[in-house]
Amino acid sequence: METQIDYWDAHALLEWQIELGAAEAISESPVNRYDLLDQRPLPQSQTAQSRATPATLAPAAAAEPDPADIATKLAKSAGSLEALREALEGFDLCDLKLGARNLVFSDGLPAARVMIVGEAPGRDEDMQGKPFVGRSGQLLDKMFAAIGLDRASPDAENALYITNPIPWRPPENRDPTREEIAMLKPFLIRHIELADPDVVVLMGNWACTALLGRAGITRLRGKWQTVLGKPAMPMTHPAYLLRNPIAKREAWADLLEIRAKLQSQK
């Protein structure tokens, strides 16, 4: 004899099962849900598409523009260093810009015979908007003063011009990624073209990665390279020298090479 359950009793039983964690009602006989998937009717849009021929299919959505391509167009359109700075300030496709306080564009005399390409800005650089202003910057100034070069000099013969391959500080001072370097490289290339130095100094691994496509500064340092048709000297970064004072001897040899190159080009 079939027993009828009162509505409220059934309701209470269901609530009790839900409190126990029941999430799905199961029938007395098993159901193969894979068969149900095969039997489902296609959505109307898919049914129409299956009947369409390739000629009637809608064209695929246009691909997102490559940020490096946009950077290249902006950089090439800059006819002066000031225009290049403005182009970088308006470039919003690099996420590094979102977390940085300031754009770190350059320091020194743009007409200088020697242009230094550093790495990424740190905390001090981000605060002041200039490259090489912390302890590394102080050591950099002393190093080049030893061969008669000064970023504050108004004379192109004795001046320095300094920039970075990355103009915004990476969060937590992490290393820049290769994607970030590739995205911003067109601005760096144009920067060197507009400054037109006699000698380029690649200060550290990331400068070498950006302009030579290679890293390993301890192997590269002291050996002349060519960047945009200009002689380029890879050197160990001052931050490395602060951690490894014994390497200052090699840095001095590199500085002497730079001085000799400048004298030979007069």
> Where along the chain do its domains lie?
67-264
User: Does residue 44 carry a pLDDT above 80?
Assistant: no
- Rounded-to-integer distance, Cα 208 and Cα 29, Å: 70
Query: What whole-number percentage of the chain has pLDDT above 90?
Result: 73
Query: Are 198 and 126 spatial neighbours (Cβ–Cβ below 8 Å)?
Result: no
**pLDDT for the residue numbered 52:** 47
Question: Containing H/E element for 82?
Answer: helix 81-89
Map residue 196 onto helix, strand or coil: coil
**7-11, 114-118, 208-212 — which is least confidently predicted?**
7-11
Q: Determine the topology of domain 67-264 in CATH.
A: Uracil-DNA Glycosylase, subunit E (3.40.470)
- What is the pTM (predicted TM-score) of this model? 0.76
- Rounded-to-integer distance, Cα 113 and Cα 234, Å: 16
- Rounded-to-integer distance, Cα 239 and Cα 120, Å: 12
- Rounded-to-integer distance, Cα 159 and Cα 161, Å: 7
**pLDDT for the residue numbered 102:** 97
Query: Are 151 and 107 spatial neighbours (Cβ–Cβ below 8 Å)?
Result: yes
- Give how far the C-alpha of residue 44 lies from the chain's centroid of Cα atoms, to the nearest Å: 44
Q: Which two tokens stand for residue 153?
A: 């000099």
**60-74, 97-111, 121-135, 241-255 — which is least confidently predicted?**
60-74
Contact partners, residue 218, CB within 8 Å, separation at least 6: 236
Neighbour count for residue 67 (Cβ, 10 Å): 18
- Rounded-to-integer distance, Cα 253 and Cα 50, Å: 71
Mean pLDDT of the chain: 87
Summarize the confidence of residues 66-82 as an average pLDDT.
95
Query: What whole-number percentage of the chain has pLDDT above 70?
Result: 76
Query: Are 115 and 203 spatial neighbours (Cβ–Cβ below 8 Å)?
Result: no
Cα dihedral 35→37→39→44 (10° resolution): -170
- Rounded-to-integer distance, Cα 45 and Cα 27, Å: 33
User: Does residue 120 carry a pLDDT above 60?
Assistant: yes
CB-based burial label for 83 (10 Å; 0-12, 13-18, 19+): middle
- Rounded-to-integer distance, Cα 147 and Cα 186, Å: 31
Q: What is the distance in angstroms between the CA of the first residue and the CA of the last residue of the chain?
A: 114
**5-14, 50-59, 98-107, 217-226 — which is least confidently predicted?**
50-59
Place 206 in a pLDDT band, splitting at 50, 70 and 90: very high
What would the pLDDT profile of 160-202 be if each residue is shown by its tens digit?
A: 999 999 999 999 999 999 999 999 999 999 999 999 999 999 9
Query: Are 97 and 91 spatial neighbours (Cβ–Cβ below 8 Å)?
Result: yes
